[in-house]
Amino acid sequence: MRRYVIIGSGAAGIAASEAIRNHDASGEILLITDDPHGYYSRPGLAYYLTGEIDERMLFPFSEQDFRRLNLRRITAQVARIHPEAHRIEMHTGAQLPYDRLLIATGAAAVRADVPGSDLAGVVKLDSLEDTRHILNLIRRARSAVVVGGGITALELVEGMRARNLRTHYFLRGDRYWSNVLDAAESKIVEHRLQEEGVQIHYNTELAEILGKNGRVAGVRTKDGRLIECQIVAIAIGVQPRKQLAQTSDLKVDKGILVDQYMRTSHEDIFAAGDVAQVYDPLSGKSVVDSLWGPARDQGSAAGLNMAGITTPYSRLAPFNVTRLAHLTTTIIGTVNKGRDDDLLGIARGDSETWRNLPDAIAAQANFDVNSLRLLLGKQHLLGAVVMGDQTLSRPLTRIVIERVDITPIREQILQPGAPLGDLVADFWSQLHKS
């Protein structure tokens, strides 16, 4: 009987458990997590914060679902892996054997490096425990400052506003998420935030968090402004939690390096999800994503390979559907380049690939809050950003991911004022007729 150990109970760990159990009815599966709440929807935390769902909804699996998988679950911290001995060592010193091991420890929020970061009231949105903590603080707070970029920063901003806090959002530059969105898209998001009552401070950097009796009382900006607040929320990116692999001499770079079978530099140890750095056949590079879909797919592939079913993981053009200032937004493929000073590295709900745009031509159509941007290569659509009306997001996702030859409409798309939406829609329907 094979003994599988999975470290991490996020989407990747759960998907791996399912894949293993589907092919190995008798193997022993042990799921170890250091999160006392086990498996829950991390993206769902944003909606718990706004009050759109209550806490019990965060847990996708019932006890019955877990029983069906016949898993043993424990809450514990793994201190070290001994690859040659096929054992893991817990923080308590106890050792457990494994035949196949999966590291699916995810990513953790990067801490801000400013004076006052240790004050009570400085928060991040990384876990259920964090969210509970924020909700507790909100009860006694009047105003909040949010610092950072990407999706998580906006989730914090929207959460604070939904709970009626005066909300200040600091941007280091002159616009939001500058290396994924373009100027028009950033403007749409910022405008909507302002309409909701969020005060955006452009070109503003946090210098110091000020405290009173150990609690946040305000912030000082680098240009000397003082803003009163009781909460400072930081979302400046996440780091893959690769320490366990590092101390166990597995090959790491930005994340834990894996081959196309999700295998690390040690034959019987696999990695998947936000912690894994995966080979991308499109760019020829190894990349990290922090996306639910790929985490689940990687977990499934890892699980199958652990169970002896050789299955390569093919990384596709990454995409995410998210809500930016209450506007559903789909980001597909590669859409921009450069750096965003509000983020260090990658954020949650983010992909490195989005910022790998080679020379490409952009075509854009805006109508009110709806916006569509297409990034065109010579024959293919390299990426797309669909904001607001999502009618085209499904066809565009397929066109980008399946690398559909768009030569028949390329010239028309590039005409000034071209009806992009109609062109794509017609192209898509023709494609499906033939």
Partner 1 sequence: MNIRGLFRAEQTRRKALVQGYVVPDTSRCVQCGICSYNCPINIDVRRHAWLGEPVRDSHCLTCGECVARCPRGVLRFESTNLFQTQN
Kindly tell me which of 52 and 223 has the beta carbon lying closer to partner 1.
52
Which positions from 333 through 392 interact with partner 1, judged by CB under 8 A?
390-392
CA 189 to chain centroid: 19
Distance CA 323, CA 330 (A): 9
Q: Does 253 contact partner 1 by CB under 8 A?
A: no
Among 5, 7, 11, 278, binds partner 1 (CB under 8 A): 11
Check if the beta carbon of residue 347 is closer than 8 Å to that of residue 238.
yes
Q: Which stretch binds partner 1 (CB under 8 A): 38-46, 74-82, 107-115, 193-201?
A: 38-46
Contacts 24+ apart (CB under 8 A), 205-209: 205/170, 205/172, 206/112, 206/114, 206/145, 206/147, 206/170, 206/232, 207/114, 207/115, 208/114, 208/115, 208/116, 209/114, 209/115, 209/116, 209/117, 209/119, 209/122
Here's the x/- map for partner 1, 268-297, by CB under 8 A: it reads as: ------------------------xx----
Kindly tell me which of 139 and 433 has the beta carbon lying closer to partner 1.
433
Task: Please name every residue paired with 231 in a beta bridge, in sequence order, or none if there are none.
Answer: 144
Among 179, 286, 330, 334, binds partner 1 (CB under 8 A): 330
Among 133, 163, 266, 323, binds partner 1 (CB under 8 A): 323
Among 8, 27, 38, 43, binds partner 1 (CB under 8 A): 43
Check if the beta carbon of residue 386 is closer than 8 Å to that of residue 330.
yes
Q: Which stretch binds partner 1 (CB under 8 A): 37-45, 102-110, 173-181, 265-273?
A: 37-45
Give the chain's length. 434
Q: What is the rounded radius of gyration, in angstroms, for the C-alpha atoms of the chain? A: 23
Among 52, 129, 174, 249, binds partner 1 (CB under 8 A): 52
Kindly tell me which of 106 and 116 has the beta carbon lying closer to partner 1.
106
Distance CA 335, CA 382 (A): 7
Instruction: Report the SS3 class of residue 365.
Output: strand
Among 17, 230, 298, 322, binds partner 1 (CB under 8 A): 322
Kindly tell me which of 122 and 374 has the beta carbon lying closer to partner 1.
374
Q: Indicate the residue type of 222.
A: K
Q: Which stretch binds partner 1 (CB under 8 A): 107-115, 222-230, 279-287, 425-433?
A: 425-433
Kindly tell me which of 34 and 55 has the beta carbon lying closer to partner 1.
55
Check if the beta carbon of residue 261 is closer than 8 Å to that of residue 301.
yes
Size of residue set near partner 1 by CB under 8 A:
34
Which positions from 59 through 78 interact with partner 1, judged by CB under 8 A?
59-60
Among 4, 47, 176, 270, binds partner 1 (CB under 8 A): 47
Q: Does 130 contact partner 1 by CB under 8 A?
A: no
- Neighbour-count burial of 238, counting CB atoms closer than 10 A to its CB (0-12 exposed, 13-18 middle, 19+ buried): buried
Nearest alpha carbon to residue 156 among 304, 46, 276, 38: 46
Residue 401 in tokens = 């991911």
Interface contacts to partner 1, rule CB under 8 A: 11, 41-44, 46-47, 52-54, 57-60, 292-293, 319, 321-323, 328, 330, 390-394, 397, 421-422, 425-426, 428-429
